[in-house]
Structure 1
Amino acid sequence: MEMKKRITEELGGRKPTEVVELLLDSCVTADGELDGLSEDFSALEVLSLCNTGLKSLSKLPKLPKLKRLELSDNALSSGLDVLSDKCPALIYLNLSGNNIKDLSAIKGLHKLASLQSLDLEEDEEDEESWREKVFELLPQICFLNGFDQDHNQAPDDDDDDEAGPHDDDDDDDDEDDEDQGSEDEEEVGLSYLMKEGIQDEEDDGDYVEEDDEEEEGDEDALRGEKRKRDAEEEDDDDE
């Protein structure tokens, strides 16, 4: 599919100023030149042009917000200097699978102050020396072909999302809080029941004590009546 037609399909009725990501992989360029891409795509942050037969970037429009540019598997060999002017905010650039044989072709990329990661076809015969030269030419980059100068692998793009596994930990904490709350409620409930039981026993004791007092009162009354009868009988005997 021609690039211009592909761009129209990718828009899907949107305005170019509303597009943040544009994927044009494997579409056909016009004589190795960009076709249909204009400065109207001012909000574009990701542009992928892999395997399009691209030979030149001369018609690349100015894309001030572009952060990621995929140019792998094309026929680029030079003319990369325009990127510093056209895409000043570029952070990641993929040039692997092109015809860049001389490192002088990438020298102009040192003006891309925000560039952190670069993918480039390696010199397999002298890989270590080649890497050192690239880092010397582009001191601003942190990662070359996915590794830093100490051969430490670059973090995945998803690492930031995982930083928060966090959700699972939060869920566990919530479950622990719920379990702790249930235990506390259970303890409170048991304490309440025990307290009620003690109160009931005390109430029962008071009730028993009242019964005992009533019985003692009855006994005293009986003894009083008996003493009264005995006294009356003694009076009768005296008479």
Structure 2
Amino acid sequence: MDMKKRVHLELKDRNPAEVCVLALDTCRSGNGEVDGVTEEFSGLEVLRMVNVGLTSLSKLPSLPKLHKLELSDNAICGGLEALAQKCPNLTHLDISGNGISDIAALEALKPLKKLKTLDASGCEVSTRDDYRDGVFRLLPHVMYLDGYDRHDNKAPHSDNGNIGGARTNNLLTKYQDDGAGPHGGDDDEDDEDEDDGDDVSEEEVGLSYLMKEGIQDDEDDGDYVEEEEEDDEDGDEEAVRGDKRKRDDDEDEDDQ
């Protein structure tokens, strides 16, 4: 699906100015450019364009409220100047898995004074020996690089695994609860409810089975006793008949 069509689907008849979170992951950008995202998205705070085939940010619109931008797994090699011009309030930027090969390309991020978290892991530049020290010197306002601070302490993460704090996490949760994006819906909760019902049914069936077994055992025991009593009665009758036959034989002998 191309990016422009994806943007239209994500809007779902909403006013672009009211959208705070926009996730366009895995769609296809037109000619490697941002397509369909316009300045009408003036209230946008979180924008995800992961693995969409971007090679350039030259057509990125002005998004003054944007504070988190995810551009991982694209083919961007430079041109990061557009970020400082179009998104001056960025605090979190993910450009991991792109074609950034030199620390000099990151110098374009210096005007982003509010930038606190930068992820460039998976880029060629991250393999350089002076990578971490060089980036922290170049961008002293950045607190976390690739998930760690300058002292190798791990960055705090929100519940969904994204760096960005409670504000971003709440926005993403609201985005999903509204039914927007590829992860909306309550299927998991429905599955849990169904599982609970199955557990109750299994317990009831198990209890009924045990009770039935107990009743059957009692009935079987009764049958066994009755059979024994019947056997005893048959034996007594046979003995009586035997005694009678013996007396009859003795009388016949006496008559002879």
TM category, shorter: 0.5 to 0.7
Runs of 4+ in 1 over 3 A off after TM superposition: 122-127, 158-161
**Percent identity of equivalent pairs:** 49
Q: How does 1:193-208 map to 2 (within 5 A)?
A: none
Query: 1:149 and 2:150 equivalent?
Result: yes
Q: How many residues align?
A: 160
Query: 1:13 and 2:29 equivalent?
Result: no
Q: Give unpaired runs (5+ residues) of structure 2.
A: 160-164, 168-256
SS at match of 1:22: strand
Query: 1:107 and 2:107 equivalent?
Result: yes
Change (3 A) 1:52 1:85: same
Post-superposition offset of 1:156: 1.3
> Residues 120 and 126 of structure 2 are in contact (CA less than 8 Å); yes or no, is this contact kept in structure 1?
no
SS at match of 2:34: coil
Q: How does 1:207-218 map to 2 (within 5 A)?
A: none
Q: Distance in 1 between matches of 2:158 and 2:66?
A: 17
SS at match of 1:6: helix
Q: TM-score when scaled to structure 1?
A: 0.64
Q: Distance in 2 between matches of 1:71 and 1:124?
A: 16
> Residues 81 and 106 of structure 1 are in contact (CA less than 8 Å); yes or no, is this contact kept in structure 2?
no
In the other structure, the counterpart of 1:65 is 65
Change (3 A) 1:141 1:9: same
Point out the structure with max Rg over C-alpha.
Answer: 1
Q: TM-score when scaled to structure 2?
A: 0.60
Q: Distance in 2 between matches of 1:136 and 1:117?
A: 14
In the other structure, the counterpart of 1:194 is none
Q: Give unpaired runs (5+ residues) of structure 1.
A: 162-239
> Residues 96 and 120 of structure 1 are in contact (CA less than 8 Å); yes or no, is this contact kept in structure 2?
yes
SS at match of 2:118: strand
Superposed CA RMSD: 1.6
Q: Distance in 2 between matches of 1:146 and 1:131?
A: 12
Post-superposition offset of 1:80: 0.1
Q: Residue by residue, what CA displacement relative to the aligned partner does 1:72-131 show, whole Å, maximum 9, x if unpaired?
A: 00000010011111001100000100000011111010100100000003656544x210
Q: Distance in 2 between matches of 1:103 and 1:91?
A: 19
